[in-house]
Amino acid sequence: MPVTHLTEAQFEPAVLKSDLPVLLDFWADWCGPCKAMEPMLDQLAAEFAGRLKVMKVNVDENPRLAQAFRIQSIPFLALVAGGQVVDALTGAVDKKTLVAMVEPHLGAAQVGGVEIWDPKKVRAAITANQAIAVDLREPVDYNRAHLPGALNLPLEGREAALGGMGRSTAYVFYARTAEGVDTVAKQANELGHAAIILEGGLLNWEASLFPIERGARKV
């Protein structure tokens, strides 16, 4: 979701009634530090697409909004969630500070209505027996390396196997990367399973230095 420009007339529907948290960047053309932060805000909007809206407010063109937020200097960043200002920062800050500001107010990342979990969260759920990993690769690849306790659900016979899986636990679907996993996870979700997608797939899991298993096990 790209960074968009906000006007006073758009404030209520776009910010106060937004289903997503909104990060407001109050800026002006003459503000050097404001312009220096633009690439960082673009990155933030891209990384948290679907979970956060980033909107720019020109204080010279929207003086009533600047007055409402009692802005005395810029850049000024305000985070609005549920129609309320939940945090604010004045002055140029680094990306780490911005991420720390917005992350506590973000919902889980989703694609097609299915949540995306990072490897750390997936590992915790598997360790606590709250989720079972499901490997969507072909058996030869699955046998080389897979997540601990993962079931193998290759293309052949996948539809029937999905229908026969139990519904008493959550299933974390993954492949080598995240590509194509959303289609299967969405299908599982529609069948009544608690479906989850492993962010970045097996490659991201291994990059996190988490343990793997070898050998065969099928649904």
Q: Which of 24, 31, 71, 132 is catalytic?
A: 31
| Secondary structure (H, E, C), 58-106 | ECCCCHHHHHHCCCCCCCEEEEEECCEEEEEEECCCCHHHHHHHHHHHC
**Is 34 in the active site?**
yes
Q: Given the residues 15, 24, 34, 52, select the one marked as catalytic.
A: 34
Asked if 137 is an active-site residue, the reply is no
The C-alpha atoms of residue 54 and residue 4 are separated, in whole angstroms, by 7
CA distances from 168 to 107, 163, 194, 208 (A): 24, 13, 9, 28
Token pair 């079972």 is found at 132
Which residue reads 């065969």 in tokens?
A: 216
* Positions marked active-site: 31, 34
